[in-house]
Amino acid sequence: MARPMVMTLFPETQAFAQRSTQAQPALSVRNLTKRFGNEIVLNDVSFNVAEGESLVLLGPSGSGKSTTLRIIAGLETPDSGEVVLHEREIEHLRARDRNVGVIFQNYALFPEMTVAENIGFGLKIRGVKARKRAEVVDRLLEMINLNDQRDKKPRHLSGGQQQRVAIARALAYEPEVLLFDESFSALDPHTRVGLRREIRQLLRRLRVPALFITHDQEEAMELGDHIAILNKGRLEQIGTPQEIYNDPQTEFVATFLGSANVLKGEWQDGLIRLDHGYFVVPPHEAFDIPIDDGERVKIIFRPEDVLLSTMLGVAESPYHLGEGEVTEVKFTGATEAVTIRLLNSPLRPSRPQLVTSISEHTEAKAKECFVKTLRSKWDARRVRLAPGNRVSIGLKAHKLLRGDTE
């Protein structure tokens, strides 16, 4: 069942180069569903990984990302759905017949084998003769720069070295896809950053498709050509890191990748009545389907997209949210974090309808609503702010979402 072994080896591999010309996605996951007992772990998850591309499955623990990886690897069977690897349906195949390379969380290096034996294991199983095997192992050891450690047992290596061995071991038999299962979480931060860069370069050169599993957004941003966000077994959004960050389709995506302010409310007479008790003018964008009064909406925006101005009422930004009072200013190095409490009093006499104070009854119910903002050093110096200052809040970018689901 295994593909014919092409023995021209790394770094420039024919097999990978050939595959890269195909238009079809290298790996395709279609409508995967998986239950453990009553609990639904994966709910109709579909995505593609193009040839030579890396996709990061990002999600909190319990989101189903590890199960997805194990299903692709053949270590778990889906209840329904398909896994297609280079136009070959593989979901019914045993793990050993799939020709995938898995880099496990704790590397799962074989403790009783030397580094060289670990790397050569896949080839040994495939019946590759010892001499050929040694050639490949040598080349891979060279690649990961561990030639002098070849006869050591894995436990004598550092975490970073172990991970490089795990990668070399997976690459040795030229898998059709590489699957990284939280492969960086056990490393110290310094090693992690260095290794990520190395792996990214390596993947670019080999053009082997890769799937990373992680809960670390920084890692996702750095490693992924595309990022897929999983939450409670559902795929929330898939796209380039820029798309996901700048144009989140759900509140979960916005808050999981980066931080975001979420103002919830409902549509009322062409305004948005926030749950905190007061009204803001909705942004200009129109919905395709007309919106009814009482329908739930959310305004989502990132802290760095907030423009603060001491000139009250002047909208320097595309969307003027309202007025607020500075409650906290915190210097964090590269940026300044400013917390603003939304004010519900009409601060702009010229256009009083924009931020509307409502009946006292409602006002009494109003809860405090805080907005997190980040300013550049430049802005911080230009417009100095201190707690108690009144500011007008403009948004350079925002997202208006309908519905109340996360």
Q: Which of 173, 212, 267, 319 forms a contact with other proteins (CB under 8 A)? A: 173
Q: Is 180 in contact with 213 (CB distance < 8 Å)? A: yes
Is 5 a binding residue for other proteins by CB under 8 A? The answer is: no
Closest distance between other proteins and the C-beta of residue 226, in Å?
Answer: 23
Asked whether 306 and 371 are in contact (CB, 8 A), the reply is: yes
Of 25, 64, 78, 122, which lies in the binding site for other proteins, with binding defined by CB under 8 A? 122
Question: Near other proteins by CB under 8 A, which window of 108-116, 143-151, 326-334, 395-403?
Answer: 108-116
Q: How far apart are CA 164 and CA 147, in angstroms?
A: 12
Binding piece for other proteins, criterion CB under 8 A, among 53-61, 71-79, 208-216, 394-402: 71-79
Cβ–Cβ < 8 Å for 366, 302: no
User: Which residues, at least 6 apart from 395, have a Cβ–Cβ distance to it below 8 Å?
Assistant: 283, 301, 305, 306, 307, 317, 318, 319, 320, 321
In angstroms, what CA-CA distances link 163 with 1, 167, 196, 206, 392?
28, 6, 11, 18, 51
Query: Mapping DSSP to helix (H, G, I), strand (E, B) and coil, where does residue 31 land?
Result: strand
Listed ranges 31-39, 80-88, 166-174, 294-302: which one lies at the site for other proteins (CB under 8 A):
166-174
What CA–CA distances, in Å, run from 335 to 16, 338, 372? 43, 10, 13
**Residue 229 CB partners (closer than 8 Å, separation 6+):** 58, 59, 235, 236, 237, 238, 244, 252, 253, 256, 257
Cβ distance to other proteins smaller for residue 96 or 197:
96
Kindly report the number of other CB atoms within 10 A of residue 372's CB atom. 17
Among the listed residues 34, 98, 320, 399, the single contact to other proteins using CB under 8 A? 98
Nearer residue to other proteins within complex by CB, 104 or 370: 104
Distance of alpha carbon 228 from the chain centroid: 6
Question: In the set 101, 265, 282, 324, which binds other proteins (CB under 8 A)?
Answer: 101
Q: Which residue number, 210 or 300, has a Cβ lying nearer to other proteins?
A: 210
Q: Segment near other proteins (CB under 8 A), from 168-176, 182-190, 240-248, 317-325?
A: 168-176
User: In this chain, which of 102, 143, 211, 254 binds other proteins, going by CB under 8 A?
Assistant: 102
Stretch that binds other proteins, among 47-55, 95-103, 228-236, 394-402 (CB under 8 A): 95-103
Give the integer Cα–Cα distance in Å for 406 and 229.
13
The one among 65, 169, 192, 398 contacting other proteins by CB under 8 A? 169
- Stretches 27-35, 67-75, 134-142, 318-326: which one binds other proteins (CB under 8 A)? 67-75
Chain residues 194-213 in contact with other proteins, contact rule CB under 8 A: none
Q: How many residues bind other proteins (CB under 8 A)?
A: 30
Least separation in angstroms between residue 256's CB and other proteins is: 27
Interface pick for other proteins out of 88, 92, 94, 156 (rule CB under 8 A): 94
Q: Based on CB atoms, which residue is closest to other proteins, 103 or 401?
A: 103
Q: Do residues 334 and 378 touch, judged by C-beta distance below 8 A?
A: no
Token pair 């905190």 is at which residue? Answer: 276
Q: In what order do the strands lie in the sheet with 335-342?
A: 306-309, 390-395, 319-331, 335-342, 370-376
Using CB under 8 A, which of 104, 134, 152, 191 touches other proteins?
104
d(CA 232, CA 404) in angstroms, rounded, equals 17
Q: Are 280 and 272 in contact (CB under 8 A)?
A: yes
Q: Which stretch binds other proteins (CB under 8 A): 123-131, 319-327, 354-362, 365-373?
A: 123-131
| Least Å from the CB of residue 161 to other proteins | 17
Applying CB under 8 A, the residues found at the interface with other proteins are 2, 73-75, 94-102, 104-106, 108-113, 121-122, 124-126, 169-170, 173
